Structure 1
Amino acid sequence: MDKQQERASSETKVTETKAERHKQRQKKLKAGVDAKIAAAQEEKGILLVLTGNGKGKSTSGFGTIARAVGHGQRAAVVQFIKGNWECGERNLLEQAGVKFYVMASGFTWETQDKQQDTAAAEAAWQQAEQLLSDDSVDCVMLDELTYMLSYHYLDVDRVINALNNRPKMQHVIITGRACHRAVLDIADTVSEVLAVKHAFDNGVKAQVGFDY
């Protein structure tokens, strides 16, 4: 065997060794995943919190609502602080039968009226409470609810009580920055969206079809 053949043979053995190691790692990984799947047998409604300072929390929540609708489930959305301006997700999802309830006062820094904001939050929350007691609704999104607790427009205990006593199989999605610890404590899944960079901070205006 000449040197070129020896080199080729050696490279083949190295490749085969790497392939075998990869195979063994993947087998170990699969065994771990299979074990977790086998252990996860409970079925229940999930409380998902999407929080953090990054962009995309509501977008992610609407994606989950769309998924539920795609499976023929009934979903509803309560939007806090967003106001009555056009919302692309609402335009689409209402056509698919998703009910929207919107806190019409808009962002609290625009109204600068705590009494008005508190009354608007109360009205929106009453709609939320009805949804959270309706076992025919499979998935409820409480968009930007976290601000209602941060600004003390809603009582934390009242919110926690409604979440804890909702129908067993009802899923709930809560979005917004700085989620209250009491909500985080009862959540099943919490994802924090990290703000690395945002176009708006560099003077780029919010754009139709991408930002709203």
Structure 2
Amino acid sequence: MYAIYLTHPQIRMEPDKPVPKWSVSALGRSRAVKAAALPWASSLRRIVSSDETKALETAEILAGASGVSLQTLQGSGENDRSATGFLLPEAFEAAADRFFADPEQSFMGWERAVDAQARIVAAVTGVLEIHDPALPIAFIGHGGVGTLLKCHLMGKPISRTQDQPAGGGNLFAFGLADRALACDWTPMEDWQGWELWQGWQQ
């Protein structure tokens, strides 16, 4: 069986709020609703989310489609960037480049990439160790730590070359038996993974 890691889609930037409290935008919500109408979404039997607002809002839409209860997962939030607070998009992208390029160093007080990777891998692994491997599961989270998890699953060094496309709302899939990547980042509303899952079930 399979697991997917899915990032929240587009957000509303709210500089007066801490970033973990930001919500998805109208566009982001519309994309999540489209994804929830696809067969892969209704096939999910477990949904685990970061406790950040934008991830929870995305997960709630998927949970409504699949009829499963939503669980939150400690330790699965985005890399801690609170030391710098809100950054304008251009400055943020430059900072993210530094975060991935020098994973053992902290950029202006940010959580180091190596530490964020260890945290997200431990959180996901802890869930999977007690999860029924016959049941498809979705982890709902964030682009930064999702990329770090993807690098780990691929056995590759931390690199932004493995980052998701712009806009968020992308997913990758991996096998529960071998933890091997099954597909690269794909927009959630475009993904046609049902045939793949049927093949894995045979």
TM-score (norm 2): 0.37
TM-score (norm 1): 0.36
Structure 1 or 2, whichever has the larger Rg, is 1
